[in-house]
Structure 1
Amino acid sequence: MNADTLRARFDAPDELGIGIEEELFLLDPETLDLLPRAREVLERVDGDARFKLEMPAAQLEIVTPPCPDVASAVASLAAARRDLAAAAAPIGRLMTAGAHPFADELGVLTDDPRYVRTLAEYGERARRQLVSGLHLHVSLGGADRTLAVYNAMRSFLPELAALAANAPLYAGRDTGLASIRPTIAVYLQRQGVPPAIPSWEWMADALSWGEVSDTVPDPRKWWFELRLHATYGTLELRVPDAQSSIDDLHGVAAFACGLIHWLAGRFDAGETLPVADDWRIEENRWAAMRDGVTGTLADLETGERVNTREVLLARLASLPDAPGLEHTRALVRSNGAIRTRAVAADAGVRGVAAWLADRF
């Protein structure tokens, strides 16, 4: 795929469209442990394109169609949740979070050829990928605009990760992290903060090298927390943990899209958007993973540390008000990681699984 083809793909989508992908777990209705029967659930929805299998055999994915705004995308996803829960009811219950609170660390994988190849390549590391994310596809209606926003948006990944942190429990214990998910994801390659991309020629060369070397023959294996999706022509944000309720999901999506549109507006006004060094962003990414909204983040230019809640509230103040941002403010006060720990203190890890299933 050459640079001209890439430009054409990112020029093609409608301006400011959004699609949502949500990964979720299937639970045994009695034990609330992971239940590797997702394929049976998928068979019950009779080829509905909104639902897909994922690598773990106990995981499914909801995919919304492209929508004109966040509110309509969230409404589409909520309807899909209801339909999938009804289909799954004779088999098990559904839940969403960055990780299951007490399941074994090694899972059963889906017997799809794609995942069989992944297992052959990665072995046990593939079986450890029992994590769920929330992915947002945003089309910006212009290749140059999309590339500039991609490079600038890398700096905001820690803020989004802190807000959306929703996986403090894993394998029956408190990990000491607001989200264990990134530490599991890195068992596979090309994770975390992505590199800056200086041009479409650079990206075309990177994709070509990955294919020729057989290192990354499939562009879908660029698993970074933000990526330029060459098939859809979208900016794909992959940093958030899966959210346990529709309101929480709405808050994360509204904040993320607000940031993206804010950056796009600055680009349209002629501003050269800043591009930060990877390692500085990665330092903040670590702080977000560890502390969520309760810690601090470093200013990427001055190094000054600022309370994460203050950073998020200041960022919200710079965005136009929009539906869903009231849920963002609620997450700043108490996000998934905080509430999960509160439930665990009262009801233990199995009580957390029940609470998560009830919130679906």
Structure 2
Amino acid sequence: MARTVGVEEELLLVDARSGEPRAVADAVLDGGPWSRELVAELQQQQLELNSSPCATLDQLREELRAWRRRAAGLARSEGVAVAALGTSPVAVPPRLTPRGRYRRMAQAFGLTAQETLTCGCHVHVGVESDEEGVAVVDRIRPWLPPLLALSSNSPLWQGADTGYASYRYQVFGRWPTAGPTRGFGSAEGYRAAVSRLLATGILIDQGMLYFDARLSAKFPTVEVRVCDVCPEYQDAVVLAALVRGLVETAAREWADGRPAPDDDLALLRLASWRASRSGLDGALLDPRTFRPAGAHDVVETLVAHVEDALKDAGDLYTVRAGIDRLTSQGSGARRQREVYARGGGTAVLRDAVRRTAA
């Protein structure tokens, strides 16, 4: 049986007429029984939706579609809409969600917390133990930058083109634990590393371990956090399938006694930066050699790496169709730039609203 897979998506709340982000998350969520599926986030201009653990991609697809529509319906009651964008394409002052934890984060991290209005996509895949989970985290590290490139959907920031396909990744990188990690070696090594980080007193709690991939503190899963939120839910399903394939492939390598790659952390950071800068419209670094290669070739290398796991889960067709669509049409970043050139940031927001709940 295939591993369970679940997705968290962060969405912007925008004015239904002007398209500008609106700080109304508390009003949108007020009184609704959405304690797990729809929740507030760091800023009042966004909310988060959560799928359940799904056994099949069909189930995940239906859940994401349903919860996006439910979020859109709740937002509509407050005169706003939801938009799946990694960053706001128009200038907006973020407004912090008035919660104890978020207030503590703002006090501890100042402008970093105040300016962080970004929307990501987090994929959870079930693992059988912490030991297996850490073995997976250690082995998937070089394969995460291609996922970032595929999901890149945040080229615009405060009304300007940043030159990056995923500027969300750059903004989020200001948090002290964000980004790729070294190998941990074992569950004991992972727990020891986490304990050392928490003992510094800098982090509010374990939830602030913003690694690109980590063990979930709440669920028996590996959580991959590197991706931008996808403009369409079908693309999020493709990413989820690839992450599940990576987890299964890594777990099999560990079970077979194959060692984790001993990749230099500096190279992993460069690969992530390259993916954030170029997306699918330039060179990436090959996960096996860390030499430049075309984005299409790197994506094909990723698919080939997890192909057996995709076949066994019945996911290969979905992934192939999704990859063909993304590599031919481009990522969300390319679409945003095309719309921005025609109508500016508000046009990008309106276009995103149409695509988010389509």
Specify the code of the residue in structure 2 equivalent to 1:189: P
- Look up the match of 2:88: 100
Specify the code of the residue in structure 2 equivalent to 1:96: A
3-state secondary structure, aligned to 1:273? coil
1:280 Cα deviation (Å)?
0.9
Mapped to 1, the partners of 2:270 and 2:199 lie a distance apart of 33
3-state secondary structure, aligned to 2:22? coil
Mapped to 2, the partners of 1:271 and 1:217 lie a distance apart of 36
Aligned length: 346
Q: How does 1:86-165 map to 2 (within 5 A)?
A: 86-91=73-78, 92-104=80-92, 106-165=93-152
Check the 8 A contact 1:17/1:138 in 2, yes or no.
Answer: yes
3-state secondary structure, aligned to 2:146? helix
1:206 Cα deviation (Å)?
2.5
- Look up the match of 1:330: 325
Check the 8 A contact 1:252/1:328 in 2, yes or no.
Answer: no
3-state secondary structure, aligned to 2:8? strand
Check the 8 A contact 1:107/1:127 in 2, yes or no.
Answer: yes
1:301 Cα deviation (Å)?
5.4
Mapped to 1, the partners of 2:252 and 2:269 lie a distance apart of 26
Check the 8 A contact 1:152/1:276 in 2, yes or no.
Answer: no
1:31-76 deviations in Å (ceiling 9; x for gaps): 2111101011111523443111001011100011212133322321
Check the 8 A contact 1:15/1:141 in 2, yes or no.
Answer: no
Task: Verify: 1:348 aligned to 2:344, yes or no.
Answer: yes
Check the 8 A contact 2:125/2:243 in 1, yes or no.
Answer: no
1:138 Cα deviation (Å)?
0.8
Specify the code of the residue in structure 2 equivalent to 1:55: L
Specify the code of the residue in structure 2 equivalent to 1:97: L
Mapped to 1, the partners of 2:334 and 2:216 lie a distance apart of 32
Q: Structure 2: state its 5+ residue gaps.
A: none
**Larger CA deviation: 190-199 vs 281-290:** 190-199
**Larger CA deviation: 114-123 vs 64-73:** 64-73
- Look up the match of 2:242: 255
Task: Verify: 1:277 aligned to 2:242, yes or no.
Answer: no
Q: How does 1:1-360 map to 2 (within 5 A)?
A: 16-91=3-78, 92-104=80-92, 106-299=93-286, 302-318=289-305, 319=307, 320-321=310-311, 322=315, 323-325=317-319, 326-333=321-328, 334-360=330-356
Q: CA RMSD in A?
A: 1.9
Q: Structure 1: state its 5+ residue gaps.
A: 1-13
3-state secondary structure, aligned to 1:239? strand
Identity %: 29
Mapped to 1, the partners of 2:304 and 2:195 lie a distance apart of 42
Mapped to 1, the partners of 2:299 and 2:236 lie a distance apart of 16
TM-score normalised by structure 1 residue count: 0.90
Q: Which of structure 1's runs of 4+ aligned residues deviate more than 6 A?
A: none
1:15 Cα deviation (Å)?
7.0
